[in-house]
Chains A and B, each alone.
Chain A
């Protein structure tokens, strides 16, 4: 429980309700930090089991919802509003979401792992439904009528027999409801949803298209200066000496040197950059593995001892009349969030407030506490809706840098990373080596499955097909590049390998790749998405000359995806083109069909980059393509035709959708290339040298 205690006593005239009024219920772009810091010292909050920790109704009827989850473009500000609107019976536009604010929202580990919809939406539903019960109870007592005769609807309590009505705001008079969330409360089943399940438009969308939304990199404060940090020339380099005296190019430039942390601040970013360029530093570099040797390196630096596959797997593989034994190489790729890391930090009375774009505001709060050696409760981290992340903003580097500079110069400091810094000093999706040995019977049933993943990760590593003998192992390794989360994590690499091997087996058996998969599957939901994709695609339609079809399916984080690809191959010049993709997706009951389609579309098309051409190039501890002119991401011209089929399973709880759709893209295209060319590719990206097949 965070911030335990009762919250009923106003302190210094500012209880949470007044405080929220002060903020107008919005994210604190209004820079009222002095009031906020006073509050953080004195104000006690409801425990996380109380309704008020999650939802609070203001006297004017505004419903304030608190969640530690953050908005990075996945539209959960909208979908969570829909969940609350549904269960509380209030209009969506009466809801103000306070998100990712360590002072105001209950603790949350972070916005990742497709957990918002299955976990946070459920929590908010329970809080909203509990609150609705309390409201009807309060009205019944006030009107002295039976509770069962009171209905809560559209922001009002209604007693039909007497014709009495009262708005939620008038009923509660802005009081916090400290009763506990009833975890057994009856929730509205998806079949009866009227707000959830509908295409509600992105909340505050107008502020984005008019350029008015303030991302962290847009925020300013009176007296604020801009910070720049001195970077090492390569990974593993240590500072020998730095001459900083030439950097003070004007009286309002400050140079900060705390051991190996060196930075400058200036009234404008250009002056800060000019000053930083004047620092002369000497570095000691160390030997670092390069891309050319990376896969050997990852295998030889595996951190766990190789377990010999059980005898059953070996024997079954040896006995299998149909065998595939292959290894796959998956390159490191970058997230490239269009808004690079940014943070604005300000200190007041030894207390720190930071606005930063992060998927883990509470994690950043902990990171700051540790590095700055101050109590966590003296730090407030806030996360305004940010310029995307894709798993790439779990860490708080810019926040730490802004906080250190701000403490040193005694002014608010904003640090905005350049694109080059984002490429070099954030982290990557891991590269990996995957080794597979799979056997099948002459009838086309899998008999053995051995699968080793070195470094890329364990997500999606389980084979979804039925196979009696299996040995599946993820071997963590010593990565030479900083690596971390990415949309779908290692599922992209693992599913690519699984679905490529399945295709190779089907080809050896001369069986239809779809039918071969269906024959080896028991999971009905996976069968359904494969069949739905194949049906929309026209899997059985005769192929034109030079066209190839490919299919892939997967089950990731309680969501199912089936992907079909059609490629065109020009044999005379080796040119390949992805003509179209069809993606069938099922993640239980659909919360917002418009945003779900948007999410699936973005996920699939982003996946094109990692499938076809994205790769981080590195040598001697340096990133060789740290720019958008040298690291290629998908653009308008890369986009194939795309059909998305959304299967709505109202009988199944909603799962997240921001990750699973990405995993089918690479194997479906790979299998289509094999279909038309006969060339079987075992690397990601598939075509690192452009859309030409080098045979």
Chain B
């Protein structure tokens, strides 16, 4: 099986029911995407698949052949943080930061569609992401300002 992640082609040999999340974390050592629930309910594992923020824990790795996968590790360009990563830093929009990868990925997808989302648009787009430390207002600020 061949997949393309962060611009690189990989050939994988994994059990048929392997999730994209496990393939990323275990086979490619891209551990920035996190396991949080295993049922697509918390957003910690989100990655961009052809630009859509998608929970990788419920995405079979076999389904992303011929698609473009971008993970949190793929957002930096030439050592520069993505503007949303920088905005999360500037707004101190995390505590334990375990949710940050998925939050940033969801926000990147939102901003690609809607560069200046209003507060309610941010809330709706981010509803699938849980910050258990609950610093939601700061995340909203970071997304607004990025």
Contact = CB atoms under 8 A, between A and B. Distances in A.
Given A215-B98, A601-B137, A606-B132, A627 B89 contact: no
Nearest to B17: A270
A95 to B, nearest CB: 19
Contact of A636 (B36, B75, B100, B140): B140
B51 to A, nearest CB: 19
Interface of B: 14-15, 17-19, 22, 25-27, 29-39, 41-42, 44, 71-73, 75-76, 81, 85-86, 88-89, 92, 94-101, 104, 122-124, 126-127, 129-140
27 contacts: A73-B96, A74-B95, A201-B89, A205-B92, A209-B86, A210-B73, A210-B75, A210-B85, A212-B73, A214-B31, A226-B26, A270-B14, A270-B19, A338-B96, A338-B131, A387-B34, A387-B96, A388-B133, A416-B35, A598-B92, A605-B137, A627-B41, A628-B41, A629-B37, A633-B130, A636-B139, A637-B127
B42 A636 contact: no
Contacts of B96: 72-73, 337-339, 385-388
Given A598-B135, A633-B130, A208 B100 contact: yes
B14 to A, nearest CB: 7
B39 A629 contact: yes
Contact of A339 (B73, B85, B98, B123): B98
Instruction: Say whether chain B's binding surface is mostly helix, strand, loop, or mixed.
Output: loop
Contact of B130 (A595, A627, A635): A635
Contacts of B89: 201, 205-206, 209
A211 interface: yes
Using C-beta atoms within 8 Å of the partner chain, give the interface range for chain A: 35 or more
Contacts of B130: 338, 628, 633, 635
Interface string A596-637: 001101111110100000000000000000011100011111
B100 A605 contact: no
Nearest to A420: B38
Interface string A414-427: 00101110000000
Given A206-B81, A271-B15, A601-B138, A595 B92 contact: yes
Given A73-B133, A269-B22, A629-B39, A598 B95 contact: yes
Given A213-B97, A637-B127, A218 B25 contact: yes
Contacts of A602: 95, 133-135
A594 interface: yes
Contacts of B88: 209
A642 interface: yes
A420 B135 CA distance: 24
Contacts of B129: 635-636
A268 B22 contact: yes
A75 B140 CA distance: 20
Contacts of B31: 211, 214, 217-218
Contacts of B26: 226, 268-269
Given A387-B34, A601-B135, A633-B130, A208 B94 contact: yes
Given A214-B31, A339-B34, A605-B135, 19 more contacts: A75-B95, A205-B94, A209-B89, A209-B100, A210-B75, A211-B30, A218-B25, A270-B14, A336-B132, A338-B98, A339-B36, A598-B135, A601-B138, A603-B134, A606-B134, A627-B41, A629-B41, A633-B130, A636-B129
B106 to A, nearest CB: 10
A594 B41 contact: no
A187 interface: no
A649 interface: no
Contact of A220 (B29, B35, B134): B29
Nearest to A201: B92
B34 A627 contact: no
Contact of A338 (B19, B92, B132): B132
Nearest to B27: A268
Given A268-B18, A628-B42, A633-B132, A211 B99 contact: no
B110 to A, nearest CB: 12
B136 A636 contact: yes
A209 B84 CA distance: 9
Nearest to A627: B39
Interface in A201-236: 201-202, 205-206, 208-215, 217-218, 220, 226
Contacts of A606: 132-134
Contacts of B76: 210
